[in-house]
Amino acid sequence: MGQTSVLADDDCKCVSCSSTLDNVRTLVLFGRTGNGKSATGNSILGRNVFKSRASSSGVTTSCEMEATVLHYRQIVNVIDSPGLFDFTVGSELIGKEIVKCIGLAKDGIHAILVVFSVRTRFSAEEESALRSLQKLFGSKIVDYMIVIFTGGDELEENDETLDDYLGRECPEPLKAILSLCGNRYVLFDNKTKDEKKRHKQVQQLLFIVDILISKNGGQPYTDKLFKEIKKREMELQKQQREVDSMQGYSKEDILEYKKQMEQQAYNDQLNQITQMIESKLMEATTKLEEQLAKEQAARLAAEEYAKAAQMKSNNEIKKLRRHLMRAKEDLHQRSQDSSFKKLRRHFDQAHVELRRRTPNHRCTIL
């Protein structure tokens, strides 16, 4: 396999726009801050463009897209989406991030790359965010998910494979997610300086992406959010063409009017998506709360059962200890009685023997 070649940012964007859709792969990174999401994006692109947590100039805070062109002219668009993970920030902020993400991935998403780290434990926050993502974009989104585990360097240092790690550190919720994703996962070492190793792991990922695309009938992921945004964009373009044909207005007036139209269209779009998000998140939150309540009730019931079992066990232990003490005392008493009887028997035998050996059978016992 050849090495990855990179074009300048502007060149990538131009090529992406003019290329056939079959030659483009749009990947969206999704994961908790600190899992190595931005670093994974940089590894895929072959250059440092997304700011990671280790960067002194700060981390990526909003959706960004960068692209690279492979040696066989395939274009890979990578979208870093930090704002899509934290569903606690409010519907409006999430709405803005979704509008931006969908705007960047206008023709759909070929794969959602869910990033976990072998350095940190799988958290309830991650489980909740993935549930919300599924609720927000629909159950079909899982058909486009691939799990990336970062921290390959740490496993290598410990002479472990990813399967070793999953056999040792894979809680049930994570197993369920891997199963939901069709057990599509790959290990990344974002710290490696070995270009061949970096290229190999990227090729492994893109191989899984191609399999995914084939399984999904060659169609990228889109839903009514994509369709609605595209519909509104087409309406806006039509309105702008009408404005361009207006007579009696200066160029500056037309530009200002078009700017106002774009802002109004964006606000309308954002309001509609925000309402959809609020509705879906409320439904997801309600279901999550119900599930958490059931889990808590089950946990409390288990704790009560454990307490009752412990109390019963303690009582049985105390009872056994009392029986043991009584048995010891009884055994001691019997031992003493037995010793006394044995001593008395020896004494009587000695007394008889003494009388037998004493002349005239006289014996005085002092």
Contact 9, 78 (CB under 8 A): no
| Range of lowest pLDDT (85-89, 158-162, 226-230) | 85-89
Is 311 a member of any domain?
A: no
C-beta pairs of 280-288 under 8 Å, 24+ apart in sequence: 280/135, 280/136, 281/87, 281/91, 281/94, 281/132, 281/135, 281/136, 283/135, 284/131, 284/132, 284/135, 284/136, 287/135, 288/128, 288/131, 288/132
Q: Residue 297: what residue type?
A: A
Instruction: Work out the pLDDT band at 29, boundaries 50, 70, 90.
Output: very high
Contact 149, 162 (CB under 8 A): yes
Collapsed DSSP state (helix, strand, coil) of residue 150: strand
What is the DSSP secondary structure assignment for residue 5, as one 8-state letter? B
Collapsed DSSP state (helix, strand, coil) of residue 56: coil
Is 3 a member of any domain?
A: no
Residues 209 and 324 in one domain: no
Residues 235 and 117 in one domain: no
Is 309 a member of any domain?
A: no
Apex CA 185: angle with CA 179 and CA 189, to 5°? 150
Choose the final residue of a domain: 169, 197, 222.
Answer: 222
Residues 57 and 179 in one domain: yes
| Mean pLDDT of the region 272-286 | 69
Residues 38 and 187 in one domain: yes
Asked if pLDDT for residue 363 goes beyond 60, the answer is no
When divided into structural domains, the chain yields a total of 3
pLDDT of 337: 66
Cβ-based neighbour number of residue 178 at 10 Å: 18
Q: Which domain holds residue 197?
A: 9-222
Question: Alpha helices of the chain — where are they, by DSSP H?
Answer: 9-18, 37-45, 91-104, 124-137, 152-157, 162-168, 172-180, 195-215, 224-244, 251-357
pLDDT of 202: 93
Question: pTM score, two decimals?
Answer: 0.64
The CATH number given to whatever domain includes residue 51 is: 3.40.50.300
Residues 146 and 30 in one domain: yes
| Range of lowest pLDDT (214-223, 299-308, 312-321) | 312-321
Residues 195 and 47 in one domain: yes
The neighbouring-strand residues paired with 80 are 29, 64
Residues 215 and 137 in one domain: yes
Contact 30, 112 (CB under 8 A): yes
Spatial separation of the C-alpha atoms in residues 28 and 114, rounded to whole Å:
8
Residues 125 and 234 in one domain: no
